[in-house]
Amino acid sequence: MISPGITGTRTLTVTAADTAAAYGSGTLPVLATPAVLLLVERTALESVAPQLAAGDTTVGTLAELHHTSSSPVGSTVTCRTELVEVDRARLRFSFKVTDRCGEVAFGFHERFVVHTEKFMAKAQAKMT
Catalytic-residue membership of 41: yes
Considering the candidates 19, 41, 43, 58, report the single residue annotated as catalytic: 41
The edge-to-edge listing of strands for the beta sheet with 76-87 is 7-13, 76-87, 90-99, 102-115, 56-67
Phi, psi of 46 (to 5 degrees): -65, -30
Report the distance separating Cα 28 and Cα 21, nearest Å.
Answer: 5
Q: How far apart are CA 110 and CA 125, in angstroms?
A: 25
Phi/psi at 108 (5° precision): -130, 150
Active site residue 33: yes
- Catalytic annotation, pick one of 19, 43, 58, 67: 67
Q: Is 117 in the active site?
A: no
Catalytic residues: 33, 41, 67
